Structure 1
Amino acid sequence: MTVTLRVVLDQLVAPTSRDLAEASASLTEALIATAPRGCDVAAIVPSPGIPDDQAVPGLSSETRLSMRRRELAASWQLGVAPGIGKGLIHSPTSLAPLVRHDRVNETHQIVATLWDLRAFETPDELSRPELLAARALLSRVARHADAVIVPTHAMAERLGEVAKAKLVKKVRVISGAPAAGLRVPSDAVGRLRALDLPTASVVLAGGAAESDGLLAGFAAVVAAGWDGDVVVLDVPEGEEPAVIDIAAAAGLGEARVHCRGALDRWDRAAVLSHAAAFMATGARTDWPWRAVDALAIGIPIAAVDTPVHHEVLADAAAFAPAAELDTALSRALGTDAERLRVLAGDRAKGFQWSATAERVWALHAEL
């Protein structure tokens, strides 16, 4: 008898986040590659199904629901999940068919994943629809998930401070990893040219939200004496002027600041491969997607001193409080640059989707 683990892959059909889409695909590929004997992996997807260019080789089947993702999300937030059936269900995000079930007698189990705690920590930075949707899903996760995965112990501890005990007791820590296959492309220079970006820069990530910490990052660039260009990745659409204004307030001229949105893994790798340093400025208890990319590419990192950054980056970054981030950037650009490059490459080896997948299989076996 074959045991099937069904993975919710809504992000491959109608992505709301490039990071979540890449993580969903990367984890699913690894689950297929590490499946124990007698087990396989299938997908649960909204209509119209996974497009050909996002197909995951090795899926045993695809449960295609009649609703599109938007309607599906609204339905699942209300606890209405027709057509799902029973079995082992794993969601790489917080969106899952979370309904009342009997794990013991029905062999029906549901595991969800949290990559950030924005609904708890910075609700004022979310739009009202985003906040209501996040809180609705978190409420259902607390009531009906058999386990909740978070990627760091720091996030688990923070969740214990802000969430109800019913949710906290279900938490398991299983780390994420860079997008599968992330590496410097052979046409990196051409990609930079196509993106209209310089071949040398300091790279940051985020938008105008205060918790993204760009003001401290820009101020550090000025105080550290970096006179080159600055590239900002993951700027939400429409926030480019606000980011330019934040840079100007820190003393950085508009001509030196290049804002870009959510790039694909190859373009991100191209940008990071030509960076003098990456600055991890975020203060939230999120999984640091771009910092982990920077580890994989092997560039010096200057990071705001937070529990998440310390746990993920360890000794592969120069740390400082936000107000003194220039000291960390100076080290990353100067005396510690080569050492941090070597340590970044070593640290990156600790984040592999294959290891994550093995722990996911073990979790479902435990449940």
Structure 2
Amino acid sequence: MKPTIYDVAQAAGVSIATVSKVINGTGRISEKTRNHVLSVMDQLKYQPSMVASALTGKSTFTIGLTIPDLANPFFAEIARAVEDRGHEYGFNVFICSTDNDPEREIRYYSLLTQKRVDGIIVATRIQNDQFLKKLISQNIPIALITNEMPTLAVDTVMVDDFLGGYQAGNYLAELGHRHIAIIAEDLVNKSNLERIRGCKQAMMAAAVEFDDRLLAVGEFTVQSGKEAMLRLLELDDRPSAVFACNDLLAIGAIQAARERGLHMPHDLSVIGFDNTVLATIIDPPLTTIGQPIQEIGRQAIDLLVQEIKGEKSLKQRVVLLPELVVRSSCMPKEPIEIP
């Protein structure tokens, strides 16, 4: 049987109230007594019940994080940043990978509420705002990452997607490219729409006309980027450059170009978005729009913990700036020769 708080009190020769104060860090207890009780807890391998703490109105020091895919380097780095920052505050983080499945997402939210988490960080595409509204009505602090829902009273941490798209389009235009394609994850996600809009705006400012046939849409995978690029390469007037709305799509585009016998970046310039670790190990190293991933995770935890502790009442919208990271996957426009 697992030891109980009563076992700890009896073994330590103190009252249950004293053990409770040690566990919760409350009340006046001498350092000697505190250390003695902690030593007994360690000997008995006693673990306080987080659920019991929640039922008495105390913090469980746990936070939930929902992400679409832990295998995706961007979200893996987000999860690591959130977890590291959470540990600095003394919080454990439950990471839930939803695979963008609405039913799975709801099951995770239900599980997290059953576990009495102190708050939830949502880094998934918002597919059920009604359920999030229900969580908010239950006074569960919520923070959004990389998403924005103006209808929800929650803290939001995101990057300026429009600016990032503009930086990508402007860079390719400055290199002399006039036939620029865009590969996007989908046309529902607001982040994607803003990146596309920013790229088009930069092209317009550089007097570069955008051909709607050069917009290819897929999923958030390398394979989807590859398939989209292969479709673009079938066009009579092939693009000389591609802006992919995330690094996975950009890597897929590079793979497709190589499969068609193109030499990178001489025959095709590719720029991504995110600046994940994959951008540094692909050949050629990927020029990309860097998101401050670590800062996104830190800011989200900071805002959530402040709300959990009652240190703020107003919701905040934090917009961080992206940065063009130049590597070797882009070069000035030269004629394309395809076998």
Q: TM-score, normalised by structure 2?
A: 0.35
Q: TM-score, normalised by structure 1?
A: 0.33
Larger Rg: 2
